């Protein structure tokens, strides 16, 4: 009762405010009279006149910033006074904000006398471009706004037919009128009584909590099923191993008693003992009538000694830059020079199980931080090692478990301006990451397509490796519906040098032309005439691919299977071929001096660990999915895999 009395005045004030807002005049009079008779104090709420005057001042400031073209002041007020629930949840507010960004981007073009100041214009265009890559990306699939995503990349928008409407005299006044009406409505709604606000916020909070709990439940059930499958498999292997062990003990007792064991019996035991991956090769190639055949068969490719990974990681973090470089080089060589199959899988599994790159570490100082080392050599050799990991399917799975790895690679790609080989290896790793659908999604959301389009505008500044892998990465991202964009179409139309990598360019064109609005833009650009020029010069395979693209350009509906859905993040789509490129070990920067250890000798001399010999069963790849050279690429692929003719 004491708590009620303490807040009674405020509660009665909230009730009176709501009755006044809802215009219950008679009820309000009766309520006030009864409170007075009972001696109940009424808390005076904030007056509406003060709120109205403050709202009017904010509206005037916003309109003034609109008229002056001052986008920083405008959007500072906009974000401060327009509720985030309205900015992010109301479709009209999102569309209005998009057009407001366009208004400020072209303000100097419309209002400058003579040529606008280039530095100021570039700043406004850059601000608009940043908006498109972040918050504005949500509207990229809307036909109404699709053409405007090419605005930052068009040299002179004033003469471009797609933007003619923006430069008409009536466009700015109409936008201003919409802004004023929106502000009047918003600030009127902000004067709603506190009682109603409390009710809405409480209901929304409960709804969000229920959604969050539901997502956690679904995730917990998914993990539970995964762990149950693993448990069942381990239990089955355990029972199989116990059974085989019991039979071998019985056989040993029988031989002691003088009973002979037949080769057929030994073969049946070995088939049960070895993994599925080894059964056929061993069961049909081992001569069980000759002693020692099994062990010799397993030792055809020797397994490398195990390492002391704790000491290794400690020296990678705390050692000198020269020691770090030699260790990174040796670890990479161990992977790149190993024999494909059990030897390479054992090495990679040892790296992963010991978390060599600290992907699961939360410490501030970790091996991953070497990607930002002050030493050019250490940065380059760390990028090479990550690229080597990304060249293997299990390595990509390991790196993908920590989103920090992707962010660090994207940051290094954009910041690295000293060492071209570092950039090449970072880009190579990202391109291989794009074989995994969740990483495709993250790269698209991080605006990597816009960075690639910018980089490919000047292909003469790129090495052959950078050019090929940039185009291949762009194609893989364009195979997703969220990766389609008009700037990509303009780049593929105008970039003559990148067309030398026709499998990737053709694949990207075929994908983005599946969107009706982009098809219309391409027709307006005269894309068919440009493609037919390449038919005259191309080989038979390229001609057939271009004919497919022209057919796509002139179609009126979305063909089945062209785009990969963004709703399904299933990772089983990834091609499963391991391609270890020769470029990983090219142009080594460091050489050992007299008496200095390097490579495998450094590892086995200073970092020898306990011997282990554990392999890992490879995942089944998409061995039955083949690509026809007649059609454009329609699945993610790496340049190494494409050159080797692997399934894509």
Listing DSSP states for 444-505 in one string gives HHTTHHHHHHHHHTSGGGS-HHHHHHHHHHHHHHHTBGGG--HHHHHHHHH-TGGGGSHHHH
Query: Residue 384: its pLDDT value, please?
Result: 93
Poorest-confidence range of 208-222, 544-558, 590-604? Answer: 544-558
Count of CA atoms in the C-beta half-sphere (13 A) of 118:
2
pLDDT at 152 over 60: yes
pLDDT in tens, 241-287: 887 788 788 888 878 877 777 777 777 777 766 654 444 444 444 55
C-alpha dihedral (245, 248, 250, 256), degrees to nearest 10: -140
The pLDDT value given to residue 454: 83
Q: What is the pLDDT of residue 370?
A: 92
* Residue corresponding to tokens 């071929």: 577
Rounded to whole angstroms, the Cα distance separating 14 from 11 reads: 5
* Selection from 142, 25, 43, 44 nearest residue 95 by Cα: 142
**CB contact at 8 A, 294 and 270:** yes
What is the model's pLDDT at position 564? 53
Rounded (5°) CA angle 236-239-245:
140
pLDDT band at 562; cut points 50, 70, 90: very low
Q: How far is Cα 495 from Cα 506, in angstroms, rounded to an integer?
A: 13
Instruction: Supply the pLDDT for residue 485.
Output: 54
Gap between the Cα atoms of 252 and 357, Å rounded: 45
Q: How many CB atoms lie within 10 A of CB 609?
A: 17
Could you tell me if 482 and 141 are in contact, meaning their C-beta atoms sit under 8 angstroms apart? yes
564 — phi, psi (to 5°)?
-90, 130
Compute the distance between CA of residue 579 and CA of residue 389 in angstroms, rounded to an integer: 10
Cβ partners under 8 Å of residue 561, min gap 6: 634
Among 112-116, 141-145, 552-556, name the one with the lowest average pLDDT. Answer: 552-556
Tens digits of residue pLDDT in 412-451: 888 887 788 998 999 988 988 888 888 888 888 888 888 8
Residues with Cβ within 8 Å of 344's Cβ and at least 6 positions away in sequence, in order, are 335, 338, 392, 578
In the three-class reduction of DSSP (H, G, I as helix; E, B as strand; rest coil), residue 608 is classed as: strand
* pTM, 2 dp: 0.49
Which of 1.25.10, 1.10.3470, 1.20.58, 1.20.120 is the CATH number of 313-446+580-610?
Answer: 1.25.10
Q: What pLDDT is attached to residue 118?
A: 84
Task: DSSP for 214-272, please give it.
Answer: HHHHHHHHHHHHHHHHHHHHHHHHHHHHHHHHHHHHHHHHHHHTTPPPPHHHHHHHHHH
Percent of the chain's residues with pLDDT above 70: 75
User: Where are the chain's structural domains?
Assistant: 2-46, 49-192, 196-274, 313-446+580-610, 452-560
Radius of gyration of the chain (CA): 33
- Percentage above 90 pLDDT, the chain: 11
Q: Cα separation of 402 and 114, whole Å? A: 52
- DSSP track, 338-402: SPTTHHHHHHHHHHHHTTTT-TT---SS-GGGGGG-S-HHHHHHHHHHHHHHHTSHHHHHHHHT-
Between the ranges 122-136, 286-300, 495-509, where is the mean pLDDT highest? 122-136
* DSSP H stretches of helix in 169-193: 171-189
Tokens of 161: 């037919």
**pLDDT, tens only, 578-622:** 778 877 888 888 999 888 899 999 998 898 876 544 544 444 444
Q: What pLDDT was estimated at residue 52?
A: 59
Q: Is residue 626 very low, low, confident or very high in pLDDT (cuts 50, 70, 90)?
A: very low
Question: Does residue 365 surpass a pLDDT of 90?
Answer: no
Full 3-state SS string of 304-342: CCCECHHHHHHHHHHCCHHHHHHHHHHHHHHHHCCCCCH
Over residues 232-239, mean pLDDT: 81
For the chain, what percentages of helix, strand and coil (3-state, to nearest 5) are there? 70, 0, 30
How many Cα atoms within 13 Å fall on the side-chain side of residue 158? 10
Determine the pLDDT at residue 45. Answer: 54
| Model confidence band, residue 31 (pLDDT cutoffs 50, 70, 90) | confident
Give the Cα separation of 633 and 636 in Å (integer): 8
Q: What are phi and psi of 630, to 5 degrees?
A: -75, -25
Rounded-to-integer distance, Cα 29 and Cα 346, Å:
84
The single residue listed with the structure tokens 């142009």 is 587
- In angstroms, the CA 306 to CA 308 distance is 7
- The closest alpha carbon to 358, from 322, 329, 391, 385, belongs to 385
Q: In which band, very low, low, confident or very high, does the pLDDT at 502 lie, cut at 50, 70 and 90?
A: low
- Which structure tokens are listed for 276? 């599925």
Give tens-digit pLDDT for 46-67.
444 445 567 788 888 999 999 9
Query: pLDDT at position 512, please?
Result: 66
- The residues, any chain, with a CB within 8 Å of residue 293's CB and separated by 6 or more, are 286, 287
Helix (H, G, I), strand (E, B) or coil at 578: coil
- On whether the CB atoms of residues 158 and 109 are closer than 8 A, the answer is yes
pLDDT band at residue 334 under the 50/70/90 scheme: very high
Q: Which two tokens stand for residue 51?
A: 């709120």
CA-CA distance, 454 to 637, in Å (whole number)? 22
pLDDT recorded at residue 568? 52
Phi, psi dihedrals of residue 418, rounded to the nearest 5°? -100, -45
Q: What is the pLDDT of residue 507?
A: 63
Rounded mean pLDDT, 484-497? 51
């Amino acid at each position: 009762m004491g708590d009620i009395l303490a807040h009674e005045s405020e509660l009665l004030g909230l009730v009176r405010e709501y009755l006044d807002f809802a215009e219950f005049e008679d009820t309000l009079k009766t309520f006030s009279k009864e409170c007075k008779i009972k001696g109940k104090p009424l808390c005076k709420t904030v007056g509406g006149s003060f709120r109205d005057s403050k709202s009017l001042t904010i509206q005037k400031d916003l309109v003034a910033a609109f008229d002056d073209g001052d986008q920083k002041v405008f959007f500072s007020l906009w974000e401060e006074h327009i509720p985030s629930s309205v900015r992010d949840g109301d479709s009209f507010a999102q569309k209005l904000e998009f057009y407001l960004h366009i208004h400020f981007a072209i303000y100097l073009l419309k209002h400058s006398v003579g040529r606008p100041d280039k530095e100021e214009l570039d700043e406004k265009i850059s601000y608009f471009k940043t908006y498109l890559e972040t918050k504005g990306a949500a509207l990229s699939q809307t036909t109404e706004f699709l053409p405007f995503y090419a605005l930052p990349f068009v040299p002179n928008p004033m003469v471009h037919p797609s933007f003619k409407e923006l430069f008409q005299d009536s466009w700015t006044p109409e936008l201003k009128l919409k802004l004023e009406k929106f502000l009047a409505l918003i600030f009127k709604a902000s004067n709603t009584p506190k009682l109603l606000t409390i009710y809405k916020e409480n209901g929304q909070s409960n709804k969000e909590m229920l959604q969050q709990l539901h997502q956690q439940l679904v995730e917990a059930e998914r993990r539970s099923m995964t762990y149950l499958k693993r448990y069942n498999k381990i239990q089955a292997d355990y029972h199989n191993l116990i059974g085989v062990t019991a039979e071998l003990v019985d056989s040993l007792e029988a031989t002691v008693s003088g009973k002979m064991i037949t080769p057929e019996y030994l073969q049946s035991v070995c088939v049960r003992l070895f993994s599925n991956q080894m059964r056929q090769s061993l069961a049909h190639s081992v001569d069980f009538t000759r002693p020692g055949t099994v062990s010799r068969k397993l030792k055809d490719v020797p397994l490398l000694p195990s390492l002391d990974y704790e000491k290794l990681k400690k020296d990678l973090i705390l050692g000198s830059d020269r020691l770090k470089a030699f260790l990174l080089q040796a670890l990479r060589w161990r992977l790149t020079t190993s024999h494909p199959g059990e030897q390479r899988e054992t090495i990679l599994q040892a790296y992963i199980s010991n978390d060599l790159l600290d992907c699961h570490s939360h410490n501030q100082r970790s091996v991953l931080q070497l990607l930002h080392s002050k030493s050019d050599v250490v940065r380059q050799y760390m990028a090479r090692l990550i690229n080597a990991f990304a060249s293997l399917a299990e390595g990509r799975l390991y790196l993908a478990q920590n989103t920090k790895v992707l962010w660090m690679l994207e940051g290094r790609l954009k910041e690295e301006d000293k060492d071209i080989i570092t950039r090449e290896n970072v880009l190579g790793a990202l391109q291989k990451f794009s074989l995994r659908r969740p990483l495709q999604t993250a790269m698209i959301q991080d605006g990597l397509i816009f960075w690639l389009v910018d980089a490919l505008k000047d292909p003469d500044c790129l090495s052959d490796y950078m050019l090929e892998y940039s185009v291949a990465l762009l194609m893989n991202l364009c195979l997703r519906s969220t990766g389609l964009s008009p700037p990509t179409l303009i780049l593929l139309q105008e970039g003559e040098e990148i067309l030398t990598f026709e499998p990737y360019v053709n694949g990207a064109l075929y994908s983005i032309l599946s969107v009706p609005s982009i098809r219309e833009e391409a027709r307006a650009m005269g894309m068919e005439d440009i493609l037919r020029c390449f038919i005259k010069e191309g080989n038979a395979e390229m001609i057939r691919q271009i004919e497919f693209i022209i057919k796509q350009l002139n179609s009126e509906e979305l063909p089945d299977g062209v785009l990969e859905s963004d709703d399904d993040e299933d990772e089983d789509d990834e091609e499963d071929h391991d391609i270890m490129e020769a470029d990983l070990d090219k142009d080594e920067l460091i050489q050992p001096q007299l008496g200095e250890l390097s490579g495998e000798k450094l590892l086995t001399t200073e970092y020898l660990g306990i011997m282990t010999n554990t392999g890992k069963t490879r995942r089944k790849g998409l061995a039955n999915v083949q690509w026809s050279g007649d059609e454009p690429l329609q699945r993610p692929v790496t340049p190494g895999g494409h050159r080797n003719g692997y399934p894509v």
